[in-house]
């Protein structure tokens, strides 16, 4: 039998600036019923990711916003609770997109099977999922690192940044990370194998970065923006490549930063140094190459060439607070909510 109620966290109001608890509401509704060809999915893990901040806003973007009183979106790892679908059995694990709730209904479209007894089911939300795929395609296809290149990546211990840095090392790059705090920087160097990692909270961050990048920067993987990019820009070499997958430093901004307008300076740098700067949305641009990524990443993981750290928070009701912390950099590794116990 299924649980009687479906807990769901809905968008109560649109945030102005940083989200607060008031923007979310926890509701209990009756468990959904399934028709022929459908199945009931029960979430065990929910992924929290920075892009969700954009979905809370009704500003024009690459995806429609979450409607008020609708469940917050998000990737989930679920078990099949009930099935009227010939291809899925009760107890099977799947990667789905059921959002911030216990139960969801699916007809099988868009699901990825994870098997009966996956070793690390939650990895499908991180290293084997959207963040790992983002790191892989962004760095290799847009960044095109060559042996001996200097690669800089911010949010160096986050789900994407940690993977970017490790792939960079496998490709023979000198890898410089930026992260918030000494503990994260130490982890990037000692565990992930970064050559250097600089605390972006340091007053002399720009000077430290320049010292570490004495041969300039060939690839900058942009996932943060703000003061990290300010420090990177003067260090870019001719022909540098900048894949842009995120700008977490400005997701809560309500206005442009103070100070002079540096757009013309950026444009001048792009021209004079022949820099390629390209944004991408992973599943819109690269969905057809997921299999290539999955085969390679599975191999690297099995060979012990990839380290992956999860920041696991227990309980669906903790999701809003954990998400607010994510936007402030309080997580250490890939943020995942454990919503329910596995069966």
Q: How far apart are CA 72 and CA 18, in angstroms?
A: 16
* Residue 270, burial from CB neighbour count under 10 angstroms (0-12, 13-18, 19+): middle
Three-state SS for 176? strand
Q: How far apart are CA 318 and CA 326, in angstroms?
A: 12
- The two tokens of residue 70 are 């609708």
pLDDT of residue 1: 40
How does pLDDT run along the chain (343 residues), one tens digit per residue?
445 699 999 999 999 999 999 999 999 999 999 999 999 999 999 999 989 999 999 988 888 899 999 999 999 999 999 999 999 999 999 999 999 999 999 999 989 999 999 989 999 999 999 999 999 999 999 999 999 999 999 999 999 999 999 999 999 999 999 999 999 999 999 999 999 999 999 999 999 999 999 999 999 999 888 889 999 999 999 999 999 988 877 766 766 667 777 788 888 889 999 999 999 988 889 989 998 999 999 999 999 999 999 999 999 999 999 999 999 989 999 999 999 999 9
Q: Can you give the pTM of this predicted structure?
A: 0.89
Q: How far apart are CA 157 and CA 332, in angstroms?
A: 7
Secondary structure letter of residue 265 according to DSSP: H
pLDDT of residue 63: 82
Three-state SS for 159? helix
Q: For the chain, give every domain's residue range.
A: 5-126+308-338, 130-283
The CA-to-CA distance between both ends of the chain, in Å, stands at 12
Q: How far apart are CA 124 and CA 4, in angstroms?
A: 28
- The two tokens of residue 200 are 């972006």
What residues contact residue 316 under an 8 Å CB cut-off, 6+ apart?
7, 9, 26, 43, 46, 100, 101, 102, 337, 339, 340
pLDDT of residue 266: 87
Fold annotation for 130-283: Rossmann fold (3.40.50)
Superfamily of domain 5-126+308-338: Medium-chain alcohol dehydrogenases, catalytic domain (3.90.180.10)
Q: How far apart are CA 182 and CA 202, in angstroms?
A: 10
Strands 112-115 and 76-83: unpaired
- The two tokens of residue 322 are 């954990």
**Helix (H), strand (E) at residue 81:** strand 76-83
- The two tokens of residue 62 are 């690459």
Q: How far apart are CA 77 and CA 62, in angstroms?
A: 24
**228 and 154 in contact (C-beta within 8 Å)?**
yes
- The two tokens of residue 6 are 């479906």
């Amino acid at each position: 039998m299924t649980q009687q109620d479906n807990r769901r966290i809905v968008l109560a109001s649109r945030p102005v600036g940083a989200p607060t608890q008031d923007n979310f509401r926890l509701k209990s509704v009756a468990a959904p019923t399934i028709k022929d060809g459908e199945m009931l999915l029960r979430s065990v893990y929910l992924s929290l990711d920075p892009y969700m901040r954009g979905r809370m806003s009704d500003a024009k973007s690459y995806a429609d916003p979450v409607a008020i009183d609708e469940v917050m979106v998000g990737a989930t790892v679920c078990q099949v609770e009930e099935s009227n679908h010939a291809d899925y059995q009760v107890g099977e694990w799947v990667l789905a997109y059921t959002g911030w709730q216990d139960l969801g209904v699916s007809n099988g479209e868009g699901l990825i099977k994870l098997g009966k007894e996956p070793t690390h089911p939650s990895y499908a939300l991180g290293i084997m999922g959207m963040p790992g795929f983002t790191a892989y395609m962004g760095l290799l296809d847009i960044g095109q690192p060559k042996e001996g290149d200097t690669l800089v990546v911010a949010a160096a211990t986050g789900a994407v940044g940690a993977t970017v840095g490790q792939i960079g090392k496998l490709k023979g790059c000198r890898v410089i990370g930026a992260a918030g705090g000494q503990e994260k920087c130490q982890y990037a160097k000692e565990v992930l194998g970064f050559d250097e990692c600089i605390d972006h909270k340091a007053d002399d961050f720009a000077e430290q970065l320049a010292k570490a990048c004495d041969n300039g920067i060939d690839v900058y993987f942009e996932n943060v923006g703000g003061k990290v990019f300010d420090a990177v820009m003067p260090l870019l070499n001719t022909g540098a490549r900048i894949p842009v997958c995120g700008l977490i430093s400005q997701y809560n901004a309500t206005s442009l930063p103070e100070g002079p307008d540096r757009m013309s300076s950026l444009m001048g740098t792009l021209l004079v140094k022949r820099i390629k700067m390209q944004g991408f949305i992973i599943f819109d641009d690269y969905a057809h190459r997921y299999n290539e990524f999955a085969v390679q990443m599975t191999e690297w993981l099995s060979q012990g060439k990839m380290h992956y750290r999860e920041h696991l928070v227990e309980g669906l009701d903790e999701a809003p607070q954990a998400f607010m912390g994510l936007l402030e950099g309080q997580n250490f590794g890939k943020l995942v909510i454990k919503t329910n116990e596995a069966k």
